[in-house]
Each structure stands twice: as C-alpha cells, then as structure tokens.
Amino acid sequence: MYNVHPVAPKRLPELLKRMPKAELHIHIEGSLEPELIFKLSKKNNIPIPYESVESLRAAYAFNNLQSFLDIYYAGASVLINEDDFYEMAYAYFLKAAEDHVLHAELFFDPQTHTERGVPMEAVIKGLNRACNEAKDKLGITSCLILCFLRHLSEEDAFKTLDEALPFKQFWVGVGLDSSEVGHPPEKFAKVFAKCKELGFRLVAHAGEEGPPAYIWSALDVLGVERVDHGVQSIKDPELVKRLSSERIPLTVCPLSNLKLKVFSSLSEHNIAKLLAQGLCVTINSDDPAYFGGYIYENFIKTFEALGLGAREAYAFAHNSFEASFMSVAEKEKCFHALKVCFESFVENDA
Ligand code: ADE
Ligand code: ZN
C-alpha cells in the first residue's frame, strides 16, 4: 500500500478538490438543479407547483427517504425530450470536472419517464450523448446503470428491461432504487437473474433505511457486486466481516444520509468506522441538487465533521477506482494519477 504523507490541515480542502476520484452513486435525475427544472418546465409547458427557484429550493427539507422521493419525481416530470436528458447530464459532468472526477457511473430511472409517455430511446440516447461529450471535451469516462424502481412490481421491471434491451450497448448494468422499506431485494430476484444471464453488472440500494437483512438479500439473492449505501450493515458484525473479507464495495453518500435523517449529524456518520474496519467504502453525492452539494462538498463536509486527513482521502479515492466498473488497465491509470497528485502535495509541502 502506498505510504501516504500527511498534509497540513489548511491544504486538505485543496487536496480533496484536486485528487482524482470516481463517482459511483449519482442518480442523474438528482442532479437536476431548480434553475434547470424551471427552464424545462417553461420550455415543455409542464407546470410545477412552485412560484420560483427559491421557493422550490426552500421545499428541500426532508424527514426521510419518501419525503425526498415525492419531490424528486415531481422535479423529473419536466424531462421530455432527448435534449433535456442530454442537458441535465452534461450539466452534471461540468460539475464533476470541477471536482476532478475522472470516471462516473450514472444511475437513471427509466420508469419515471416511460410511465409519462417519454420514449426509452429519448432517455438513453440523450444520456449517452452527454457521456460521449464528457469523454471528448472533459476527459471524463462514464457508464450508465439502469435502475428499477422497487416500489413498482417485478413485472414492471421486466417490461422496462424489454424496452431498454434494444439500446443495450449504451448501458452496462442494473440497480435497484426508490422506497426501500417494505420492498426487499428478493422482490426482484427473477429480473436480476435475467440481467445477470444477459451479462449486465449488478448493484442495488440496500441498508440505506432498511435493515441488514436487505443487504444479505442483495448479496445472496440478487448477487450484486456493489451495495449502494449499506450504512446499516454496522448493526450486524457478521455482515461487516463478509463485506470486509470479500471487499464488497459500499457506495456511501454522507450528505444524503444527513438530509434524509439516516444520521442526525455528520459527526455521527459511521463511514470512518466502516473504513477502519477494512471495508471498501466510497464517498458519493447521490442526488446533489437536493442534498446540498456535489462530490467535493460530500468529501469536505465529512472530513471536517469526522476529523479525517490525507490517509483517508487516499483510501476513499483509491476505493472509488477499485470499486468501479472500469477495466484493469483504466483502473491502473487512475491509481497512477492518484499517486502523482499525492506526491505533488508532498513536494509542495517541503
Ligand atoms: N432515488 C434517488 N435517490 C435515492 C436514494 N437515496 N435512495 C433510494 N432511491 C433513490
Ligand atoms: Zn441513491
């Protein structure tokens, strides 16, 4: 393991900003800023029940996951055309570039759009165009992960899969999101088995609000490679042992957990404990337009609250590349870029 040199506390923000990183847990519809919601609402003639950008932003006070999802689905209702999906995703990539994200794996929720009559093709092609442009203009690599909404039926998930298969060259994997409690992973056992057979990568949200049993089920019934959130795993020492020994990544989203009251303050967040127990945890933004910041804000606020430093920064960034769906060669390039960045801080310090 690379020997991480300490960095002076006053230089930590610069290190966290500049260090290369991957983002593995971002719902692209959760990057829709109020300004763009208003712009698209006018363009597409879709009314939204808020007077102004400020009044919409003021409504972003949540008690739990469901209270957020209600407003998140309302916000996404302004997305109609391929260009809208492109514009939303490219705006995210511009933010990601500022935060030195080298690689991003984007969740999208097709059912939120197809049930309103938006064609699957418009969703996927718009997002794919933004991904291609991010590579060409910003040097960011990316891929798309199609999420099934777990509050809907498995039959609906199968229908969505069928609709998306004609565009299968544009997405690499499937995930499971939306209201967790009452919708355990095993509800989607058959559709995940089918996706595995088709060669897709598998992830699922589990243990955000739901119990450790949902994480076991995501691993053992769905066969996921990565768990999104997973912070409730700490309640089950056997599960923590399994996650650690198999290095099953957890894509953790601290500001999301704070805003949705999974933890009452960031200083109570368990991410540092999970890291110290040998888990492959990463820091991500989840729904940055709703939760008060993009990946850098997640890093800086978590590091300040928990008193973390350069060693942890290196570990989180290294984990983000390790846990990604990049090829081994691409990962090696990112690991190298990470070392170069940390070494530049040592030299500048001397
Ligand atoms: N969809 C968007 N954000 C989500 C979250 N944090 N949990 C579950 N589903 C989501
Ligand atoms: Zn999420």
Residue 350 has pLDDT above 70, yes or no: no
Residue 349 has pLDDT above 70, yes or no: no
d(CA 40, CA 195): 33
| Contacts by 93-96, CB closer than 8 A, 24 or more apart | 93/130, 93/133, 93/134, 93/138, 93/140, 93/142, 94/138, 95/31, 95/288, 95/294, 96/23, 96/134, 96/138, 96/140, 96/294, 96/295
For the stretch 133-151, pLDDT in tens is 999 999 999 999 999 999 9
Within a domain: 260 = yes
Edge-first strand order for the sheet with 141-149 is: 21-27, 101-108, 141-149, 173-177, 201-206, 226-229, 250-252, 281-283
Domain containing residue 222: 9-349
> How many other CB atoms are there within 10 angstroms of residue 155's CB atom?
10
Whether residue 150 has its Cβ less than 6 Å from ligand 1: no
Within a domain: 2 = no
Whether residue 229 has its Cβ less than 6 Å from ligand 1: no
Average pLDDT of the chain? 97
Within a domain: 28 = yes
Q: How far is the CA of 91 from the centre of ligand 2 (A)?
A: 19
- pLDDT number for residue 2: 83
Total domains, the chain: 1
Q: How far is the CA of 4 from the centre of ligand 2 (A)?
A: 30
For the stretch 117-134, pLDDT in tens is 999 999 999 999 999 999
Indicate which residue's Cα is closest to atom 8 of ligand 1.
Answer: 178
Under the banding of pLDDT at 50, 70 and 90, the label for residue 320 is very high
Of ligand 1's atoms, which has the minimum distance to the CA of residue 260? 6
Whether residue 205 has its Cβ less than 6 Å from ligand 1: yes
Of ligand 1's atoms, which has the minimum distance to the CA of residue 180? 8
Indicate which residue's Cα is closest to atom 4 of ligand 1.
Answer: 178
Within a domain: 1 = no
Active site residues: 208
Within a domain: 172 = yes
Q: What is the mean pLDDT of residues 139-165?
A: 98
Q: What is the mean pLDDT of residues 224-236?
A: 98
Q: Which of 18, 94, 30, 8 is nearest to 287 (CA)?
A: 30
Q: How far is the CA of 151 from the centre of ligand 1 (A)?
A: 12
Within a domain: 4 = no
Within a domain: 165 = yes
Provide, rounded to the nearest whole percent, the portion of the chain with pLDDT above 90.
Answer: 98
| CATH code of the domain in which 149 resides | 3.20.20.140
Indicate which residue's Cα is closest to atom 2 of ligand 1.
Answer: 27
Residue 291 CA: which ligand is closest?
1
Whether residue 65 has its Cβ less than 6 Å from ligand 1: yes
Whether residue 113 has its Cβ less than 6 Å from ligand 1: no
Q: How far is the CA of 228 from the centre of ligand 2 (A)?
A: 7
Of ligand 1's atoms, which has the minimum distance to the CA of residue 256? 6
Within a domain: 263 = yes
User: Which residues, 6+ apart, have CB-to-CB distance to 223 below 8 Å?
Assistant: 192, 193, 196, 202
Q: Name the DSSP class of 278.
A: T
Indicate which residue's Cα is closest to atom 6 of ligand 1.
Answer: 286
